[in-house]
Structure 1
């Protein structure tokens, strides 16, 4: 796995352990949206390719009825329980996928350029600014990509983590790695 630190042009590091939950629900249902907001402390994003964040959690729009919820590892169980309680009896499902995915942080002034080598998404800040999220391919691996305040967070199935890490490290070599 790549925890390779290139020069300041691009930095690639594994993300620390965190809670990752998939929430499947109809966010346009006011009762479900209100219950989820109460449990999360933030409203679920309803615009495609967006996320919403607060201290407690980040909610990423993955599809019209699917959200990736990110939180601190030590708050994962409490968040899942709060969601299950708030959404009990409603048409919703919460699944813990924390162990299914690995994450990478990609930062530095050339981070978008690095990712563009294997990704067809326009990563210019005007097109893909802070808080934007997308499912796409990176060098043939399915990923979820989130732009945050410092760069990008990339999530990939754990079985593709070594491949993705090696690809990122190789693609970053021209930046001094």
Structure 2
């Protein structure tokens, strides 16, 4: 059996911001009634997180839950626990109209960090990344140049970018070019 590896197997680029492949992540798409008690209980059980509000990510002791649409969540857990988590969610939602799907190996995740990380992202996505509009715990589904992506803010000021694995190299290259020294915009710098 082959060993699982992330899309770009730990690739890193350092310019005026740092771009890095974050490694393997357990990611589960859950579709269903996000207002139901069963959904809230299932999410709390597998992640320790409360249900996220619209365009929010909630962290818990065992993972995170990200709002993706009015009937969709992305559950993020350790890659090694994803199969067990899918089974637990499926069991918890068995009496509900719901879909639970492991999408871990179909996605790539990158972290963008540094004082000017907001500028890197603002060059590529039609999203307002100003700190008063896009804060830690916020998530947006949008596009990054020509491909779909989801972007969320972390408490440490970094950002996570999720895209389809098939376009992982393209997104990494976009982020790297956008973060290349000499391309600073200086608009969102925090220093």
Q: TM-score, normalised to structure 1's length?
A: 0.91
Residue of structure 2 aligned with 1:154, choices 154, 161, 172: 161
CA gap of 1:82–1:125, structure 2 versus 1, over 3 A, is same
Who is 1:169 aligned against?
176
- For the pair 1:121 / 2:109, whether they are aligned, the reply is no
Aligned equivalents of 1:173, 1:36: Cα separation in 2: 39
Pairing 1:76-155 to 2, within 5 Å after superposition: 76-150=82-156, 151-155=158-162
Q: CA deviation at 1:35?
A: 3.4
Bigger RCO (CA 8 Å, 6+ sep): 1
TM-score by length of structure 2 reads 0.85
The alignment's C-alpha RMSD in Å is 1.9
Gaps of 5+ in 2: 1-7, 184-191
The corresponding residue for 1:35 is: 42
Aligned partner of 2:14 among 6, 14, 30 = 6
1:97 offset after TM fit, Å? 0.3
CA distance in 1 between counterparts of 2:182 and 2:28 reads: 34
Match status 1:26 vs 2:51: no
Distance (whole Å) between structure 2 residues aligned to residue 55 and residue 33 of structure 1 = 15
Deviation at 1:175, TM superposition (A): 5.1
Q: In 2, distance between residues paired with 1:35 and 1:158?
A: 27
8 A contact 2:138–2:153 mirrored in 1: yes
Encode CA deviations 1:31-70: one digit per residue, 9 max, x unaligned: 332233233322221x211011112111000011100111
User: How many residues are aligned here?
Assistant: 175
SS at 2:181 equivalent:
helix
Is residue 46–residue 62 contact of structure 2 (8 Å, CA) maintained in 1? no
Alpha-carbon distance in structure 2 between the residues aligned to 1:164 and 1:35:
33
Whether the aligned pair in 2 keeps the contact of 1:12 and 1:168 (CA below 8 Å) is yes
Asked if 2 retains the 8 angstrom alpha-carbon contact of 1:6 and 1:175, the reply is no
Contact 1:103 1:153 in 2 (8 A): yes
Is 24-33 or 95-104 further displaced after alignment?
24-33
